[in-house]
Structure 1
């Protein structure tokens, strides 16, 4: 395969291995399988599953993958070159790699002689032999090999002659891909460009067989995506990265930015266009499986990537999206959002009304009333750009069609601390269908107890509440100078397992602010349940 002569870019995903090294990220075997199959459906050709033998989880993952094989992608096992002082055939580290049963194996070896001497505590010559022996052994066992040249750019800058020898050795041993790795993530785009161009030209002049090149970048200097794009322009045809840029330290090159940049802006063929529209969905799905909050401000796939807040911007983008959007959000499965805030104008209000299915026009006096109410509430501390569910409820109330599911008659919270343990009991009184319901519940805090009591009072009337969950809770002190009397804004994110929505409450009483947000969260969820509509914030 001579990949460099085509317009094809081979996407190599390492979310399950390099990405899972992110601090605070932990994936179970089931998590890894779900992510692998979702990437397979996205059309990613190479999916690196981990290092079999490094931990039991990765061994079991590859066993499970043999039972539940990928339909399109190649699963890839990852490992280092053999250890110094023994042959590859003797090294027990390589046996689990063979047992993983993958056709492709990625081997990393040392490019920087600093690591050879001080890290491996061996000689430069032995390092070359480790590279040769490992690749030849894997090739003799019927495996195809991708060689990741670890610390390539740092190694080349310190000792270019030796760094080149490591690549020449890997190529001669039978590696099908040579991948330049910016392992420390500190190389800048102009250096990537110059070194990649020089090395590719040198190797092609010295070696007659076709060579395929790839790039693997880290984001420590926040140039991982730029570095990968630069390398592609210099001739590499494999791009390694992770979904959402997950990875150790500052992360890896973000495939959610790389794929649309390569395909939609530079014209390369990465994945089928029918799969590209699933990119945003895939990004958010994987963040949910990894139990990490999606980055709302991520380029391309973030909730705010195509959000417009200023009135002038909104007016312009509604006439022609090109005025403030660099591409059509639908191409990568995202969508335009009109954000409401104290900077909003009539265009924002009309746009939000349309998105909520509310019939409103510019001449309707309710439109001006909503805008004035919005600015008044935001001046009090409300923030509707982050709580669009609450704003939709506000708009329905303004036009007179807000559904009433229940009425809050009152609530009481009692906290008791005994022997170092805090017990919280909440009592709520609600009116439903002409009946007054009084219920109490305990929780690990006042908000938890109030939420539990309210659900307990309502679930017999609205069984769907049993599926609702409070998924995030944020508190912001608005006037810190007031001390414990400060006004507090609470944002509550709720979910029904398929959708997410956010509501807001503001008060000098943090419990009251929290309760406002919790109550509206339940109310909005019931509206979604009744209408079968898509939530404001889609997971």
Structure 2
């Protein structure tokens, strides 16, 4: 039977101390539900005594009806020189209505003397009395031994005495904290091993990522006997962040043979990671281990050829096991295998012995030499492949566009675009304004096509990026435009490259519409065949 490791998430408290991370009460409630679905055992909601928002969360969290997780409050030991009954922070914890609490106390003598400015003996009393008081109130108490590893390195006798005092008071779990994030894995392993041998209560680990070892140190602690791991989703947290539970969980479960969550819950990792990024308004890093978009992306031709035969040749785990998926990128480094893999993804029949495959690959490399980058614009790539195979239906033909920009005496800037197309042999000539040239072009293009293809009303531009490819050419530089479009259900990316930013934008914009129409070809045919009598004027102004 696999050893069980309990997971303690502090995204809603420690995670929000990260720069740029702010969560409303409603955000925290939504994330708590997701964490419960992942199988997290403890969800730390905040510090009731620190602000009204955290107390509001605890009051509303009573209605969550969680299946797996225990909502946990955070706080500190009593203040020096007062009775526990008189400590406001401890009273607020009781008022929050939680069943479990994590309270931190000093275990580094330097902090006791310089930060708390009290005696070492009084600090031990603060730890003991606070834990005992909360236990008498019927709470499960987790003691966070703050700065434990730094304290142990400077004064091991006092650090040990502090955690033994917590155990004596009745703490259910004692968590050793690498608060400054400066310890090394071998130090963590040795110290945790020693502490585990001295305590009879469960030992936990809380690591920060200041040396980019938060995950490694957490794993080392578990191997040394810790059975409770604290961290945050996506590694959010103060300074460089906390140990990333999104990486800790699969490493413990799939690499070290511990039990954290159910196998079915493990597949929710990528969903939870993306959800928290979205709620926190953070851009998910493509290279985030396990769940990043690039975590199982393959670019080199030899690599792709190998994974087509045996995926384990270049993948350390099956991506589906944690909810991710394999991706094959196409670039100047590509081999024929990359094109074949992508064709298979789109249900396109492409034989590796077919000369057409080699022609498509040559076209890719030629385009990338010009500045195209299809790994970031798979919709444009699919259009090119299908066009090369003669499988692409062109729903319209482009004739020309014009852009007019004027500023009047009142300093009002106006932008107007004229687009001329042919649809079913008919000329469509439209004019539209916008808040800029790309917006005006987009509006004119839509105006021209919506009368023939009403479903275009559902799609919209969701992101627009411009990159200068050669800075030495200054304003004459070639630019690459990436456009991300969406219909509210799916997203797709297209690309355009030119020395003229408007032309580059137009290429990407046209590809976005062509791709959407291609994906809905059957729907378009049904609509058009069911209403043959409807005709619309083809000139719009």
Q: Same fold (TM over 0.5)?
A: yes
Whole-angstrom CA distance in 2 between matches of 1:464 and 1:84: 68
Whole-angstrom CA distance in 2 between matches of 1:425 and 1:46: 55
Taking a change above 3 Å as real, the CA distance of residues 484 and 28 of structure 1, as seen in their structure-2 partners, is: same
Tell me which residue corresponds to 1:77.
73
Taking a change above 3 Å as real, the CA distance of residues 489 and 84 of structure 1, as seen in their structure-2 partners, is: same
Tell me which residue corresponds to 1:17.
13
Tell me which residue corresponds to 2:347.
357
Tell me which residue corresponds to 2:499.
508
Whole-angstrom CA distance in 2 between matches of 1:516 and 1:280: 33
Tell me which residue corresponds to 1:368.
358
Whole-angstrom CA distance in 2 between matches of 1:157 and 1:382: 54
Tell me which residue corresponds to 1:427.
417
- Partner SS state of residue 175, structure 1: coil
How far residue 411 of structure 1 moved from its aligned partner, in angstroms, is 4.1
- 1:47, 1:74 within 8 Å by CA — same for their partners in 2? yes
- 2:417, 2:437 within 8 Å by CA — same for their partners in 1? no
The answer to which of 239-248 and 228-237 deviates more is 239-248
- Could you say which structure has the larger radius of gyration? 2
Taking a change above 3 Å as real, the CA distance of residues 283 and 447 of structure 1, as seen in their structure-2 partners, is: same
Taking a change above 3 Å as real, the CA distance of residues 385 and 84 of structure 1, as seen in their structure-2 partners, is: same
| Alignment map for 1:170-209 (pairs within 5 Å) | 170-201=166-197, 203-204=198-199
Taking a change above 3 Å as real, the CA distance of residues 43 and 498 of structure 1, as seen in their structure-2 partners, is: farther
How far residue 344 of structure 1 moved from its aligned partner, in angstroms, is 0.6
- Partner SS state of residue 112, structure 2: helix
- Partner SS state of residue 35, structure 1: helix
- 2:2, 2:259 within 8 Å by CA — same for their partners in 1? no
Tell me which residue corresponds to 2:305.
315
Question: Where in structure 2 are there 5+ consecutive unaligned residues?
Answer: 524-541
Residues 1:491 and 2:482 aligned together: yes
- 2:2, 2:258 within 8 Å by CA — same for their partners in 1? no
- 1:366, 1:399 within 8 Å by CA — same for their partners in 2? yes
- 2:392, 2:518 within 8 Å by CA — same for their partners in 1? no
Taking a change above 3 Å as real, the CA distance of residues 76 and 490 of structure 1, as seen in their structure-2 partners, is: same
Tell me which residue corresponds to 1:129.
125
- 1:217, 1:228 within 8 Å by CA — same for their partners in 2? yes
- Partner SS state of residue 133, structure 1: helix
Residues 1:520 and 2:511 aligned together: yes
| Alignment map for 1:264-279 (pairs within 5 Å) | 264-279=254-269
- Partner SS state of residue 86, structure 2: coil
| Alignment map for 1:126-525 (pairs within 5 Å) | 126-201=122-197, 203-204=198-199, 210-408=200-398, 409-414=400-405, 416=407, 423=413, 425-429=415-419, 431=421, 434=426, 436-443=428-435, 445-455=436-446, 458=449, 462=453, 464-525=455-516
- Partner SS state of residue 89, structure 1: helix
Tell me which residue corresponds to 2:29.
33
- Partner SS state of residue 385, structure 1: helix
Tell me which residue corresponds to 1:537.
none
- 1:220, 1:249 within 8 Å by CA — same for their partners in 2? yes
What is the aligned residue count? 520
- 1:311, 1:346 within 8 Å by CA — same for their partners in 2? yes
Q: Deviations over 1:409-434 (max 9, x none)?
A: 41415264877x77452424254564
How far residue 376 of structure 1 moved from its aligned partner, in angstroms, is 0.4
- 1:215, 1:239 within 8 Å by CA — same for their partners in 2? yes
- 2:419, 2:444 within 8 Å by CA — same for their partners in 1? no
Tell me which residue corresponds to 2:535.
none
Taking a change above 3 Å as real, the CA distance of residues 417 and 169 of structure 1, as seen in their structure-2 partners, is: farther
The answer to which of 64-73 and 104-113 deviates more is 64-73
The answer to which of 23-32 and 255-264 deviates more is 23-32
- 1:51, 1:58 within 8 Å by CA — same for their partners in 2? yes
- Partner SS state of residue 19, structure 2: coil
How far residue 106 of structure 1 moved from its aligned partner, in angstroms, is 0.9
Taking a change above 3 Å as real, the CA distance of residues 37 and 461 of structure 1, as seen in their structure-2 partners, is: farther
Q: Deviations over 1:357-376 (max 9, x none)?
A: 21111122321111011000
How far residue 287 of structure 1 moved from its aligned partner, in angstroms, is 1.4
Whole-angstrom CA distance in 1 between matches of 2:346 and 2:130: 60
Tell me which residue corresponds to 2:531.
none
How far residue 496 of structure 1 moved from its aligned partner, in angstroms, is 3.4
Taking a change above 3 Å as real, the CA distance of residues 362 and 18 of structure 1, as seen in their structure-2 partners, is: same
How far residue 107 of structure 1 moved from its aligned partner, in angstroms, is 0.8
Whole-angstrom CA distance in 1 between matches of 2:429 and 2:25: 45
How far residue 47 of structure 1 moved from its aligned partner, in angstroms, is 1.3
Question: Where in structure 1 are there 5+ consecutive unaligned residues?
Answer: 205-209, 533-539
- Partner SS state of residue 53, structure 1: coil
Taking a change above 3 Å as real, the CA distance of residues 10 and 459 of structure 1, as seen in their structure-2 partners, is: farther
Tell me which residue corresponds to 1:107.
103
- Partner SS state of residue 67, structure 1: coil
How far residue 403 of structure 1 moved from its aligned partner, in angstroms, is 4.1
Query: Over the residues paired in the alignment, what is the CA RMSD in angstroms?
Result: 2.3
Q: TM-score, normalised by structure 1?
A: 0.90
Whole-angstrom CA distance in 2 between matches of 1:415 and 1:87: 74
Q: TM-score, normalised by structure 2?
A: 0.90
Whole-angstrom CA distance in 2 between matches of 1:135 and 1:400: 74
